A and B are shown apart, each in its own frame.
Chain A
Amino acid sequence: MNNLQTGNAPSLSVVVPHFVYSALSFLCLTVFIILAGTDVLGPYFSGKLVAITHLAVLGWASMLAFGALYQLIPVVFETALYSELLAKITFWIFAVAILLLVYSFWTSAYGTTLIYASSLMFTALSGFIGNVLFSQRMGKRNIQSKYVVTAILWLLLAAFLGLLIAINFKYPFLSQIHLHYLKIHAHLGLVGWFVTLIIGVSSSLIPMFLISHNLNEGKLNFAYYLINGGLLLLGLDWLVLQGTLLIPVYWVSISLGIILYLVFVREVYQKRLRKELDVGMKHTLVSVLSMLLPILLSLTIMLKLDFQNSFHLRTTTLYGFSIIFGLITPIILGQTYKTLPFIIWLHKYKQLVGKYKTPMPKELYSERLVTLQFYSYNLAIIVLVTALITDTIWMIRLGSYTLLVTAVLYNLNVFKIIFHKVKTERNPI
């Protein structure tokens, strides 16, 4: 037996708390959107929207990404996680930092608790990043691991800039207004961390789940340089030169990189052996296709196609919304069912397979709930996008409540998987 990765899988106590915290954050997030009410249609930098954004990207998405990445390190890097203890410590610091950070934004406590929340956050993220980097040093280097490592370096930069902005609220020292740095911070986080991570992990997982072989990974290589080169130059341009005429060049570079990735996914889809897609993969493919939306919206913002200020502000909100709810959330909603049931199944049934008739991993959750979750989510997003475009408050409420339904369905399934009780029948053999 050689080159097997399941022996490298981290223990359940490292991974599962991340899934629990993330699922609860998603539920809280939908409640916060309802509570924010008309603020959702206000400026994207209002305290409540910033609180919601941070709960979404850190509590919901990054928390799950950390847990999933700890589990996927053996798959992507083909080695074990460097330190389980560090992962557990990081989890608790991260968990407290998220609560404190969201509280600081929601209550506009910029000059008081924000600096402590940001410092704690930076500490947690450093712990996570160190753990992944040390793991990668021991593991295999391929295009997927290159994406993952680069993504976490962007996360480090985003967190550092976030910390500087927080310090600046209490002890002003930055030369430009906050919104200028907020723009850079958001792009490092959303494009650098999430888009790069999603491309890296999904280019490994989607072929694995769809059973696609003989793929041309050259496209991923080109995409890597176009996206990261473009983002690096964009960040430097904004930071040092405050934005030059070259911004559209960086936009073209990043967009081309994303399109190359989409071409790669099309190849995976065409060469797939598994013709029928389950709901998890449908969610994932919706997410991948949604990458086109922020490309178009960023073009609108860059070219200032609309000069009505309120619409321009809402377009910016929509741009962030399209990344968080178009790209990030559906891939999490889908991939949860491709990871968590297998993690729990392995833990509960690994010693029982062969001895007893055991259920399949997909029998650990309700497929009916996943289907309802898929349709309620897509409905919520269509309604919310329409509400943001048309500035309609009743549609915001309708979309928010539909999103709450999705979150409840998702949580029911996540906890059904986690609290699954072992079911066995004597093997008839």
Chain B
Amino acid sequence: MKTRDEIKEIESELEQILYGVMDPEVELNIVDLGLIYSLIYDGQSQVEIKMTFSTPACPLGDAILMNIRQSITNVYPEFEVDIEVVFEPAWNADMISEKGRLMLGM
């Protein structure tokens, strides 16, 4: 079992990995887009991600989820990634980061 600081460090690394996962339609990474609600690492091999999509019927949803799983296991092959997609609270523009707004030309 890892220490609290080690867990925080790995969670931060996992977040950095998610910065590399793009929403192919919006062409912005899912963290700056505000799709990630929470990311919890249990200190062993379990990663739990709670996230949303910009629309419930997102046609590219599966590809985004697959990209998240694959990107994480590329770096941490032993990790199990559990993703829960929720639509409450519904995603809205306020969730986009400042950097994301600049990238979208808002």
Contact = CB atoms under 8 A, between A and B. Distances in A.
Given A211-B54, A273-B106, A346 B70 contact: no
Given A4-B85, A5-B57, A75-B57, A353 B67 contact: yes
B93 A350 contact: no
Contacts of B20: 429
A408 interface: no
Given A3-B87, A208-B55, A274-B26, A429 B74 contact: yes
Report the interface size class on chain B: 35 or more
Interface stretch (A16-24, A126-134, A354-362): A354-362
A342 interface: yes
A355 B106 CA distance: 31
Contacts of A75: 57, 59
Interface in B4-40: 17, 20-22, 24-27
Contacts of A180: none
A172 interface: no
Given A342-B60, A350-B62, A354-B66, A427 B74 contact: yes
Contacts of A351: 66
A346 B57 contact: no
A9 interface: yes
Interface in A189-211: 204, 207-209, 211
B59 A429 contact: no
A301 B92 CA distance: 46
Given A213-B92, A360-B22, A429-B74, A6 B59 contact: yes
Contacts of A1: 65, 83-85
A144 to B, nearest CB: 10
Nearest to B84: A1
Contacts of A308: none
Nearest to B54: A211
Contacts of B65: 1, 4
B74 A4 contact: no
Interface of B: 17, 20-22, 24-27, 54-63, 65-71, 74-75, 83-87, 90-93, 96, 104-106
